């Protein structure tokens, strides 16, 4: 997909990060993953991010990533597939090139491994990866990789295929500076964990789309919440926050790494088992899974979403 086409697609609706399916030996389960992608593609996501954060990018080896991308592309129909890329510059370039060859429509550039660095180093890192491929790139501000508005503006001048900015830091004032300075040069994506609880503040900052992890197991509700936000239907927004997202986040926050693990547990609750998470993550225990099932069933989530 042409970078400009991808930019339009990403900004057109809700986004999601499919979990990566593993068997009981923790090997990539391609058949199960393909079925999951087919199911999600039926709920009108603007784009799906294969091998992203919720897809356990950090647990995949570089040889597995193009396999995941190819499986997603083969099952998503017309839905664009954006692949994660990260680690040090050289390895990120290798991943980016292999993802492009496997059919990815774009890249989400995750933070480099561990190191904190100066703006000049981050600019060189992003620029090298952008110039290694012809597909569109979305840069992700998070953890040890936080670009300033001036740095992003410079990258936009030097990298025509840099089409998007995603924020996972939560400093809305900095986001406003970026959106004000860059205007429509980029598409802006919210990327906080369970971003729905932050979405109203980000909408006010000019970030009108986001990646929804819960789309993995309650896609109809995720879309209903997003449409209520876009249309200003505050009673529906408030009701879904109270009945689902607030208790969901409380459960997610019980243990480290549960931002991914709870999504896989949600699929098990919906009888769509994606297999376990890979270490160092751990799965929810039976009591926590039962609580999650109660959150879903007690509120008749999919029934509510369909009304």
304: confidence class by pLDDT, cuts 50, 70, 90: very low
Q: Which residues lie closer than 8 Å to 217 by C-beta, 6 or more apart?
A: 263, 266, 267, 269, 270, 272
pLDDT digits (tens, 9 = 90+) for 116-157: 999 999 999 999 999 999 999 999 999 999 999 999 999 999
Q: Is 299's pLDDT higher than 70?
A: no
Residue 281 has pLDDT above 60, yes or no: yes
User: What is the set of active-site residues?
Assistant: 140, 166
Supply the DSSP string of 22-59, one letter for each residue. Answer: B-TTS-B-HHHHHHHHHHHHTT--SEEEETSTTTTGGG
Per-residue pLDDT of 52-107, as tens digits, reads: 999 999 999 999 999 999 999 999 999 999 999 999 999 999 999 999 999 999 99
**Domains plus CATH for the chain?**
1-230 (3.20.20.70)
Mean pLDDT, all residues of the chain:
95
Pick left, alpha or beta for residue 51 (phi over 0 → left; psi -120 to 50 → alpha; otherwise beta): left
pLDDT band at 305 (very low <50, low <70, confident <90, very high): very low
What pLDDT shows up at residue 135? 98
> What is the DSSP code (8-state) at residue 245?
I
pLDDT of residue 306: 47
Residue percentage of the chain with pLDDT more than 90:
95
Confidence of residue 297 (pLDDT cuts 50, 70, 90): confident
- Cα Rg of the chain, angstroms: 18
Q: How confident is the model at residue 302 (pLDDT cuts 50, 70, 90)?
A: low
Distance CA 106, CA 80 (A): 8
Task: For residue 285, give the 3-state DSSP assignment.
Answer: coil
Backbone angles phi, psi at 277, to 5 degrees: -80, 155
Q: How confident is the model over 210-232, as a mean pLDDT?
A: 96
54 annotated ligand-binding residue: yes
Residue 226, Cβ density class (10 Å: 0-12 exposed, 13-18 middle, ≥19 buried): buried
Where residue 113 falls among pLDDT bands split at 50, 70, 90?
confident
The per-residue pLDDT for range 256-265, each reduced to its tens digit, is 999 999 999 9
pLDDT of 303 > 80? The answer is: no
Alpha helices in the chain (DSSP H): 3-10, 30-41, 64-75, 89-101, 119-132, 149-158, 172-182, 199-204, 219-231, 234-240, 246-252, 258-269, 286-298, 301-306
Angstrom distance (rounded) from CA 304 to CA 286:
26
Q: What percent of the chain has pLDDT over 70?
A: 97
Summarised one tens digit per residue, pLDDT across range 31-55 is 999 999 999 999 999 999 999 999 9
């Amino acid at each position: 997909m042409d970078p400009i086409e991808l930019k339009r697609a990403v900004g057109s609706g809700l986004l999601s990060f499919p979990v990566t399916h593993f068997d009981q030996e923790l090997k990539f389960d391609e058949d199960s993953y393909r079925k999951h992608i087919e199911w999600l593609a039926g709920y009108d996501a603007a784009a799906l991010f294969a091998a992203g954060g919720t897809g356990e990018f950090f647990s995949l080896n570089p040889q597995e990533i193009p396999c995941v991308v190819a499986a997603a592309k083969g099952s998503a129909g017309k839905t664009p597939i954006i692949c994660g890329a990260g680690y040090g510059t050289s390895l990120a370039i290798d991943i980016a090139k292999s993802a492009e060859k496997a059919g990815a429509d774009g890249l989400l550039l995750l933070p480099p491994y561990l190191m904190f660095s100066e703006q000049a180093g981050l600019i060189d890192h992003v620029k090298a990866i952008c110039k290694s491929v012809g597909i569109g790139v979305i840069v992700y501000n998070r953890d040890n990789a936080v670009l300033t508005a001036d740095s992003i503006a410079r990258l936009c001048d030097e990298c025509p295929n840099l089409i998007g900015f995603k924020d996972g830091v939560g400093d809305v004032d900095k986001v406003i500076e970026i959106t004000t300075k860059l205007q429509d040069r980029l598409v802006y994506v919210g990327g906080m964990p369970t971003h729905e609880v932050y979405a109203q503040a980000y909408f006010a900052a000019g970030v009108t789309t986001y990646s929804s992890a819960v789309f993995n197991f309650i896609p109809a509700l995720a879309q209903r919440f997003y449409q209520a936000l876009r249309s200003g239907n505050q009673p529906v927004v408030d009701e879904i926050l109270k009945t689902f997202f607030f208790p969901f986040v409380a459960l997610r926050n019980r243990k480290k790494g549960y931002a991914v693990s709870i999504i896989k547990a949600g699929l098990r609750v919906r009888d769509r088992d994606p297999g376990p998470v890979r270490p160092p993550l751990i799965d929810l225990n039976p009591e926590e899974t039962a609580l999650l099932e109660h959150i879903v069933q007690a509120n008749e989530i999919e029934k509510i979403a369909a009304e």
